[in-house]
Structure 1
Amino acid sequence: MEQLTVLDAAFVEAEDSDPHASLAIGAVAVLAGPMPDAEAVVAALTERVMSVPRLRQLLHTQPLDLAAPHWVDDSNFDVAHHIRFTALPRPGDEAALNRLVAEVMERRLDRDRPLWECWIVDGLQHNRWALLMKVHHCVADGVAATRLLGQLCDDPVVGDDPAGPAARPGSNPVEWISGAWRTTRALPGAAVQAVRGAFDIAEGLLRPAAVSSLSGPISSMRRYAAVEVPLDEIEKVRSRFGVTVNDVALAAITDSFRTMLIRRGERPRRTSLRTLVPVSVRPTGARDALDNRVSVMLPYLPVEKEDPVAQLRSVHERMDRAKGSGQSQAGNLVVAAAKAIPFPLTAWTVRALTRLPQRGVVTLATSVAGPRATLRLMGRDVVRLLPIPPLALHLRTGIAIMSYTDRLVFGVIGDYDATPDVDELATGIERAVERLTAISTGHWRSTPVGTLLLVEGG
């Protein structure tokens, strides 16, 4: 019997805290056509699904949270409940695909069945078809979900054996108190920094962000958009300014959110865009384990700054400060401490926290390194890979960033009522990358009024 970790179970609690939340993550693989026979696709996917035990297991919870939820085999497993077929209406363009993604992702997964779905989508433009994979966040984080998608493709890369479940203390009070003491004594000196990081995270969650249309209650409906930019453009910016790829991506997101706020008639402030940035803490030996191994950072993205280079440098500085504060290490500390505490106490604490009106964090920006080689399914190339983040806890928008082959892909999900301009948010990211690239290569110049113009041909 394999139990959920405290972090895995927290995603279930977060979904339960809001009837309009759906904490599934996903990805769309767009494939070159023509699509093979539908029955052949289902047969191939079924064979590969059956090789992944978690996809044939149910989430079983304990009464009164006396023990952690655990995974049990579904004795009535029927793959037909999970692999589904649909076709886009003509002309099968990107807008139609985005609408389908939003509709699939807004519906919660049925907890009476294994927590995943795979949609086979026919009728895309340019003689293409797609797979939409959807899995609950309690099953996998972004890194694990990407590996899972790879296992469904041809010639999947097989990694190391996943690490076994950590030993858990029993329910005897003397046992867990002594276990907590041993855990505390064993903490390295870096734990002091992690404790400070934990306090920074708590402060970030409790201190309200500047009032704006970016945060508030969400509805049950979603909008989705995606945009791709060449990785070599990102690399030009990274190299020119001595920052990271993630810094460039966050700077582009910053600029697009600034434009969104101004378009809505709102003033971008320093405290307008505190952002949840997950950080993977997954060790190499557990890269194939289906679970969650993440910590978080909560930087303010500098939407108050107008100049794109100032935005980029500020993002770099604030991310460095967040890393140095111990925020990224705090998740490991909390998880380690939680293992020494009886599950009912941690479950009740998480439940109470997820039901508080969260007003400090405005959006999510999560980044995953995707495959560098082209994936194939049934002999067809995956020509696009689009990530899909979840929405919950009063976050009205979420952005997932994934590299695939030679591109960096931004998948943007938003609440249907609160973000009718989700397409503009996505295209604004693309424009921001283009502008930073042009600045890096000397193809922009300033006008007398400070407006940047593209100089054709250098």
Structure 2
Amino acid sequence: MQVAMLATFSVPEDRPEFVGELYARWRDVHQFQPPFNYLLRATPVPSWQELGDDEIDLDYHLRHSALPRPGSQRELGVLVSRLHSAKMDRRYPLWECHLIEGLEGGQWSMYMKVHHSQIDGVGGVRLLKRILSADPEAREMLPPWAVGTRGPDQSGLPDRPKVPEQRAAERHDGPSLLRLAGEGVEVASSLGRTYAESLVGTNESARAVPFRAPKTLFNGRIHTPRRFATQHYPIDRLRKAANATGGSLNDVFLTVCGGALRRYLDELDALPPEPLIANVPVSVRAEEGDGVGNAITFLYSTLGTDIADPVERMRAIKASTRLGKQRLPHVGGLAMDAYTAVLMAPFLSQAILGIGGRGRPASNVVISNVPGPAETRYLDGSRLEEIYPVSLLFNGQALNITAVSYDGQFNIGFTGCRDSIPSLQRIAVYAGEELDALEAAIERRSARSARRGRSTGGRLDDPVEPVAAKDAPVSATRTSG
């Protein structure tokens, strides 16, 4: 249940020994902020214990590594795959920070691993923003564990406006509490209705529901070794495709993933006739607040793997995600937590009983998209070039695809079970080719509309011939292991 961040930086030209010097300086920082000072106490009741600064062995958590020559993306991927395969020792706070030097092109990487119970995707990005600065001249910056969710914000950006104290107080006055109690029955009814629709579906064929997914090679029992691969694109390419088809950036992302998985399974003669179903985490975290723990719920979406044409696949996905969003209850706080807990109860029961991966899966793959920093960030003057999420797996879910945007780029991390998914990097390569295929299909459809005298008003409504993904230009993965 561990998640990680792989961030790659440029070594400052005037400081060739930057990584070694950073490691030496960070070793002397023994101030710890939540969640980096939390220790799991399993008995008598599972709980978190907040440790004092002198109770934490920093030498265990902070590691310094170097890649074997030539220090390519492949060597980095092999190391990250190995690091992510290792379980964290629960006798210590559940995090590790690895500084990795020797990457070709004058670069270095930081691999930061934490337990998912401590930080979710949006919380992780918020923590990243606090750790890194928008100011390239900022120096003597603190390490992640000294910043955490409560330490000093190093971003160099203005704080968000806080909720006025008067408005905050109004949430606790008598009339507000009475009104909330009066709405309780309506909220409970809404939760019950949306839960029933989520679990058993409705008569709308586009709605994807849990435990209706076909069994695939992604949905068996998993083992400890991991594989990791990456892909990235300029985010404007996804936005342009979204605008042309009337969808969202996330619809384009799901369409690309669906096409990549369709091609991968088809080559292995393992493509089911039914469409694969994705579990899509949705953040319900407030704009302000503590970043420790999780604040997410889930919707289910088809991936259109039964559809060859990428534009038609995206149309199916767009309809499915629209229905999934309509299903989410319009509540927050404890009510949303209760809804999510009930929705995920069948899956959690499988995990607790150890029977995950033996029956029909709740979904085929987890696909997540987390908005990251829009501007360039620095660490002590070292420019952040790329950032990739490395996510968690569990029995019944041997593949996770998570994306994070940064500074005009859309970066995707593919995390898979080494024993379950042969040649994981091929999925990442196909994802690059599928975006090419979607763009080509959009361009052909636009050209056909133009030839018809713009009878469709420029909209992509007319059917087109399926695009053969294998004919699209090849895009290589950046990292694999």
Shorter-chain TM-score category? 0.7 to 0.9
Alignment partner for residue 374 of structure 2, among 372, 377, 380? 372
| Map of 1:53 onto structure 2 | 34
| Map of 1:199 onto structure 2 | 196
Would the aligned equivalents of 2:369 and 2:402 in 1 still touch at CA under 8 Å? yes
| Map of 1:120 onto structure 2 | 99
Aligned to 1:100, the other structure's residue is in SS state: helix
Deviation at 1:199, TM superposition (A): 3.2
| 2:284 paired with 1:281 | yes
| Map of 1:187 onto structure 2 | 184
- Evaluate the alpha carbon distance shift between residue 309 and residue 351 of structure 1 in structure 2; reply closer, same or farther with a 3 A threshold: closer
Deviation at 1:193, TM superposition (A): 3.8
Would the aligned equivalents of 2:216 and 2:364 in 1 still touch at CA under 8 Å? no
Aligned to 1:333, the other structure's residue is in SS state: helix
Deviation at 1:297, TM superposition (A): 0.8
Aligned to 1:129, the other structure's residue is in SS state: strand
- Evaluate the alpha carbon distance shift between residue 81 and residue 183 of structure 1 in structure 2; reply closer, same or farther with a 3 A threshold: farther
- Evaluate the alpha carbon distance shift between residue 440 and residue 37 of structure 1 in structure 2; reply closer, same or farther with a 3 A threshold: same
**Following the alignment from structure 2 to structure 1, what is the Cα–Cα distance between the partners of residues 401 and 129?**
21
Would the aligned equivalents of 2:121 and 2:370 in 1 still touch at CA under 8 Å? yes
| Map of 1:354 onto structure 2 | 352
**Following the alignment from structure 1 to structure 2, what is the Cα–Cα distance between the partners of residues 158 and 59?**
35
Paired AA for residue 401 in structure 2: I
**Following the alignment from structure 1 to structure 2, what is the Cα–Cα distance between the partners of residues 159 and 138?**
27
Deviation at 1:414, TM superposition (A): 0.7
| Map of 1:264 onto structure 2 | 268
Q: Which string of whole-angstrom CA distances, capped at 9 and with x for unpartnered residues, describes residues 16-56 of structure 1?
A: xxxxxxx1111111111255444531255457783533212
Would the aligned equivalents of 1:58 and 1:71 in 2 still touch at CA under 8 Å? yes
Deviation at 1:243, TM superposition (A): 0.6
- Evaluate the alpha carbon distance shift between residue 161 and residue 292 of structure 1 in structure 2; reply closer, same or farther with a 3 A threshold: farther
Unpaired runs of at least 5, structure 2 = 134-153, 164-178, 201-207, 449-463, 474-481
Aligned to 1:257, the other structure's residue is in SS state: helix
Deviation at 1:365, TM superposition (A): 0.5
TM-align CA RMSD:
3.5
Structure 1 stretch displaced more, 30-39 or 395-404? 30-39
Larger radius of gyration: 2
| Map of 1:70 onto structure 2 | 48
| 2:460 paired with 1:422 | no
Would the aligned equivalents of 2:310 and 2:466 in 1 still touch at CA under 8 Å? no
- Evaluate the alpha carbon distance shift between residue 257 and residue 193 of structure 1 in structure 2; reply closer, same or farther with a 3 A threshold: farther
- Evaluate the alpha carbon distance shift between residue 449 and residue 317 of structure 1 in structure 2; reply closer, same or farther with a 3 A threshold: closer
**Following the alignment from structure 2 to structure 1, what is the Cα–Cα distance between the partners of residues 21 and 446?**
52
Unpaired runs of at least 5, structure 1 = 1-22, 164-181
Would the aligned equivalents of 2:8 and 2:108 in 1 still touch at CA under 8 Å? yes
Deviation at 1:338, TM superposition (A): 9.8
Paired AA for residue 2 in structure 2: A
Aligned to 2:217, the other structure's residue is in SS state: coil
Would the aligned equivalents of 2:85 and 2:224 in 1 still touch at CA under 8 Å? yes
**Following the alignment from structure 1 to structure 2, what is the Cα–Cα distance between the partners of residues 59 and 425?**
36
Deviation at 1:275, TM superposition (A): 1.4
Would the aligned equivalents of 2:297 and 2:340 in 1 still touch at CA under 8 Å? no
- Evaluate the alpha carbon distance shift between residue 353 and residue 125 of structure 1 in structure 2; reply closer, same or farther with a 3 A threshold: closer
Paired AA for residue 354 in structure 1: I
Alignment partner for residue 399 of structure 1, among 398, 401, 405? 401
**Following the alignment from structure 1 to structure 2, what is the Cα–Cα distance between the partners of residues 242 and 101?**
38
**Following the alignment from structure 2 to structure 1, what is the Cα–Cα distance between the partners of residues 244 and 63?**
47
Deviation at 1:198, TM superposition (A): 2.6
Would the aligned equivalents of 1:276 and 1:297 in 2 still touch at CA under 8 Å? yes
- Evaluate the alpha carbon distance shift between residue 160 and residue 106 of structure 1 in structure 2; reply closer, same or farther with a 3 A threshold: farther
